[in-house]
Amino acid sequence: MSRRIGISMLGCGTVGLPLFRMLANREQDFSVRCVVVGNPEQAKYDVIRTAGGVKLISSSEYDERNGQDIAGDSETDIVVEVIGGSGGSEGDPFAKTRERLLQVIRAGKHVVTANKTVLSSWGTEIFAAADDAGVNVGFEASVAGSIPVIRLLREHWRGQPIRKIMGIMNGTCNYILSSMPGYSQPGAALPDAAKLGKEVSAESYANASNPAMLWALDHAKVAGLAEADPSFDVDGHDAAQKLSILASIAFHTAVQPTEENIPRSSILPISLEDLTLVHKLGFVIKPLAVAEKKGNDIELRVHPCLVKQNHPLANVTGAYNAIYIESEPIKGVTEGFASQLYYGQGAGGEATATALFSDVMEIQQRIQNGVVSNPSYYCSDKKFNIVSCDDQVSPGYIKSVSKDEPGVFMRKTVILYGETESDRIDIHQIYNLHELRDGDLVPDVITIGPTPFGTVRRALGRFTDEGVSVEEPLFLRIEN
């Protein structure tokens, strides 16, 4: 008969508490030994106190005893880390969590974590330490909440050369972009001012520079989907960390989530006008994270992108996540490629706790079978080159706004035609959209063929410098 597995927890909040309840519900299999939190006096921890037999301590007590409540507890087999970045210094809030993880790993404890920041930045070091100590690290909960994409990559896709991973990995951005059209609906509700902590009125939104974006962002804050400072989500940092974890597994190349490796752009410049405009052209705008293998190179990016209205990702709305994976044909073996789309709740306490629980169950089995299985290739040298932002090639959409005067359109096409062959941009379609604005400013859209971003960047710089666009031109990639 298998023995009970001892579990200790670092942190026990939104994600940790539902996990605690799941573990307590399986007391024949698991005994929770020690739970470390910020302030154990809070009522939310009553469920831990009433469970009995669990040592509930504050992080300051834990630190005073140099982490020995867990590292020195011979009956703790698995440590679940769900603190996030709490407890570190302002400059590097996650450094402390990294230290705590390394300490328990070196003490021979298996680890389960939901921490995308620590793994994407220090995954190589953590997996190397785990291999040295002969322990497993479960990290399914670090990407896409309830979608078991890490397990799928490591198991189902193991024998397939992956060509592309493309997904909606940030539910906040997807919620905001899918909610924005609601702003223009008759009787659109204002966000709850009390929950938002600021005065709101129809005028305050109408006077904003991007009313529908601000309105949808405030609704996301009220729904608990966006932080007071939403930049980590809306500027693409969260999705870049998740993409770096998936790409490191899929391409056996440790990818740091730096801006250089994973260029990203914010959803904030997207307006209701853009959503209306792309709709007329048969597209929708989705916040995508893309990793694509091209020969010996991999391209990674996180941007709001255009996808066709009939694309499976186009219909993923609200706070949901979806991830599309495509393999490349195996030379001489398979003629075509395989592809799959996974869909589910990307965040939320219970959804994420199910991913943690599944890792705990998996490690329980590995302990019983004496198996250690970490993605050690994560630690290997780079197998692929990472393509710089300027060299990434994709078709795109350019929106610019000009005074309604003769010749302006021609000047734009001349700029896009470039001065040399290497600067030439292939124009696919041009749309002049008088009906979208009153007055003498007219937005227009030019769609272009596959072009290196550096070439697009230089051309758009000329749009601004030469005054053919009175607003910063907007460039969005088109993903097929």
Ligand X SMILES: NC(=O)c1ccc[n+]([C@@H]2O[C@H](COP(=O)([O-])OP(=O)(O)OC[C@H]3O[C@@H](n4cnc5c(N)ncnc54)[C@H](OP(=O)(O)O)[C@@H]3O)[C@@H](O)[C@H]2O)c1
* Site stretch for ligand X (CB under 6 A), options 34-42, 253-261, 264-272, 303-311: 34-42
CB 297 within 8 A of CB 336: no
Q: What is the nearest approach in angstroms of ligand X to the Cβ of residue 238?
A: 9
* Site stretch for ligand X (CB under 6 A), options 35-43, 194-202, 265-273, 308-316: 35-43
104 binds ligand X (CB under 6 A): no
Distance CA 309, CA 216 (A): 21
418 binds ligand X (CB under 6 A): no
15 binds ligand X (CB under 6 A): yes
Segment 414-422 long-range contacts (CB within 8 Å, at least 24 positions apart): 415/459, 415/462, 415/463, 415/466, 415/468, 416/446, 416/448, 416/459, 418/455, 418/459, 422/455
Given candidates 7, 10, 70, 291, which one binds ligand X under the rule CB under 6 A? 10
Q: Quick check: is 55 catalytic?
A: no
Residue with tokens 């509700």: 189
* Site stretch for ligand X (CB under 6 A), options 76-84, 223-231, 379-387, 409-417: 76-84
66 binds ligand X (CB under 6 A): no
Given candidates 7, 37, 101, 243, which one binds ligand X under the rule CB under 6 A? 37
How many residues bind ligand X (CB under 6 A)? The answer is: 26
Given candidates 4, 24, 26, 38, which one binds ligand X under the rule CB under 6 A? 38
Distance CA 264, CA 472 (A): 17
By DSSP bridging, strand 78-81 and strand 110-113 are: parallel
**Alpha helix ranges (H) inside 146-209:** 149-151, 171-179, 193-196, 202-206
Q: Give the number of residues written for the chain.
A: 480
- Measured from the CB atom, is 99 or 155 closer to ligand X? 99
Q: What is the nearest approach in angstroms of ligand X to the Cβ of residue 409?
A: 47
Given candidates 18, 138, 145, 396, which one binds ligand X under the rule CB under 6 A? 145
CB 329 within 8 A of CB 337: yes
Alpha-carbon torsion angle 95, 100, 103, 105, nearest 10: -100
Residues paired with residue 304 on neighbouring β-strands, in sequence order: 287
- Measured from the CB atom, is 141 or 213 closer to ligand X? 141
By DSSP bridging, strand 30-37 and strand 5-10 are: parallel
Distance CA 415, CA 466 (A): 10
Given candidates 6, 87, 396, 452, which one binds ligand X under the rule CB under 6 A? 87
- Measured from the CB atom, is 98 or 477 closer to ligand X? 98
14 binds ligand X (CB under 6 A): yes
12 binds ligand X (CB under 6 A): yes
Given candidates 78, 114, 250, 468, which one binds ligand X under the rule CB under 6 A? 114
Q: What is the nearest approach in angstroms of ligand X to the Cβ of residue 58?
A: 8
Q: What is the nearest approach in angstroms of ligand X to the Cβ of residue 98?
A: 12
* CA-based max dimension of the chain: 84
Out of 109, 164, 242, 399, the active site residue is 242
Q: What is the nearest approach in angstroms of ligand X to the Cβ of residue 47?
A: 12
By DSSP bridging, strand 393-403 and strand 474-478 are: antiparallel
Rg (CA), the chain: 25
Given candidates 5, 48, 54, 82, which one binds ligand X under the rule CB under 6 A? 82
Q: Write out the residues near ligand X by the rule CB under 6 A.
A: 10-16, 36-39, 42, 59, 82-84, 86-87, 114-115, 141, 145, 347-349, 352
Positions marked catalytic:
242
